[in-house]
Structure 1
Amino acid sequence: MGQSSTLGARDNAWIYALFAVCAVLAIIGSLLAGGDHSGWRWLHYLTKPTATVLLLIAVLRNIGSSFRGYGMAIVVGLAFAAAGDFFLMLPGDYFLAGLICFLLTHCTYIWALTRDSRFGADKRIFVLFAAIGLIVIAGLWTSLPSAMRIPVVIYALALAAMAAQAISRDRQLAAVAPQKSAARSAAFGGLFFMVSDTLLAYGRFRWNIPYNAVWVLGTYYTAQWLFARSTEGNAHAR
């Protein structure tokens, strides 16, 4: 696994470098954008989904003939995420459409994370993340429009389940398992995704968070990069 993971990272080094550039430009464009026709806004429009698509390409390049399930699920999740990026960055109110796209991302990630481990095996972790999800929902509840309450509850619980499964899977796999370091990447990816989406929700519905794009997009792109890198050590996963 160590050799194949190193080769995968080396082969995709230029893609990850382009991804990093696009991610930074997307954050800068979001911070500096003014009107809808601002050049900075168009920079954000161009680079935000492009960064996610670059990760999708990197994962496709990692997938060998003996490994399809985990990697293809991550590819599908990244495709839904790119669509979600598109909806969330538009000037109109397409938040629900973006929410649905990212809900599908988390569902496909959960499917990926159950290819080599049982769902909900570590019940203590699931109870903990369910509690965190409910706390997040409770903090948002009075600030949410009534039409958004049920969608946000469904999304928050799916997000918590994805993060919990990522950590549960990491704990299930033996330290010597070929995909152990990849599982650790996915576990941290789940955590960063929870932080990103929590900041996004609170910044949209409850608080005015200074430099919100830095924290939301920074943690989001870190999460997606970790999930992309988690495919490099799963050559033996089914």
Structure 2
Amino acid sequence: MEADGRESERRFTADSLLVWRLVPFFASCTFYFLLWLHSQEPSWTSALAKCLPIHFLALFVHNTTPLGPYGQFIRLGLLCSILGDLFITWPDKYLVGMVASALAHLFYLKALGGLPTCRTFLQSVMIIFLLCFGLLQPHLPSHLSLPVVVYAAILCLMLWRALVRGRSAAVSGLFFSISHALRVWTTFVCPLPEGHLMVMVTYYTAQALLALSAVEGRAPQH
């Protein structure tokens, strides 16, 4: 009984420490949503404000996670995400931002590993991918059709591996999929009311959950 009490106390202390270490992330998200979310013109100031939460998540992973490849690859993915967020702010740099974001998801894929395969998840993700791309393809500019299908395929692979891993990684993969679907729909098909707000809320949630997956104490399955 006493041992259980000490274990609960240690767990509460560890969870409290994690929350405190995420304060800069939450504060920078609030800063962005209050000051820059509805900025009409792209600017370096708004772009940097948008990247700041991901920067703090990369620091969180660096300072909090145990040594090992999982945390290292998650951190590299977060750093590439910063570049993607930076470039995607400007319409003429959209393709460069997409490449940087795709590289981020490749690092996430490397962290999540390739085993076990779990074909049920893979088949479900592939069906969703084909349906979504079929709806989107007629609306895409011709020069972006191939990059978008490659990017979407990488994202679907990441979702598959995240679902297999489970826990916060799985929820992160789902939020990533929702965020990117909203972004693409708003950009190329039809602007949604408060579309950018929904994109950024789901995006920051996905990145935060993936960062937290690095401190769950589970060894990645390579």
TM-score above 0.5, yes or no: yes
Distance 1:198-1:144 versus aligned 2 partners, 3 A rule: same
* 8 Å contact kept, 1:5–1:233: no
Match of 2:28 in 1: 22
- Backbone CA RMSD of aligned residues: 2.4
User: Does 1:228 pair with 2:173?
Assistant: no
What pairs with 1:209-228 in structure 2 (closer than 5 Å)?
209-228=192-211
**Cα shift readout 1:51-108 (whole Å, capped 9, x = no counterpart):** 00000000001233xx311000100000100111111123x42111111111111111
Distance 1:73 1:97 in 2: 21
What are the residue-to-residue correspondences of 1:188-207 with 2, within 5 Å?
A: 188-207=171-190
Partners of 1:209 and 1:79 in 2: how far apart? 29
Alpha-carbon shift at residue 3 of structure 1 (Å): 8.4
Residue 60 of structure 1 is matched in structure 2 by 62
Q: TM-score, length-normalised on structure 1?
A: 0.82
Cross-structure match for 1:159: 155
Match of 1:175 in 2: none
Judged with a 3 Å threshold, the aligned counterparts in structure 2 of structure 1 residues 210 and 9 are, in CA distance, closer, same or farther, namely same
Where does structure 1 differ by over 4 angstroms across 4 or more consecutive aligned residues? Answer: 1-9, 235-238
Specify whether residues 6 and 162 from structure 1 end up closer, same or farther in structure 2 by C-alpha distance, changes over 3 A only.
Answer: farther
Distance in 1 of aligned mates of 2:209 and 2:62: 15
Q: Which has the higher contact order (CA 8 A, sep 6+)?
A: 1
**Aligned counterpart in structure 2 of residue 134 of structure 1, from 130, 135, 138:** 130
**C-alpha displacement of 1:35:** 4.0
> Match of 2:74?
74
When residues 185 and 235 of structure 1 are mapped into structure 2, their CA distance, relative to the original with a 3 A threshold, is closer
Give me the TM-score of the superposition, normalised by structure 2.
0.87
Name which of 14, 17, 36 aligns with 1:11.
17
Residue segments in structure 2 that go unaligned for 5+ positions in a row: 1-6
For residues 42 and 70 of structure 2, the distance between their equivalents in structure 1, rounded to whole angstroms, comes to: 39
Equivalent residues, number = 215
CA distance in 2 between counterparts of 1:24 and 1:73 reads 27
1:45 has 2:42 as partner: no
User: How many Å separate the matches in 1 of 2:124 and 2:218?
Assistant: 31
Partner of 1:118: 115
Which of 27, 31, 38 is 1:32 aligned to?
Answer: 38
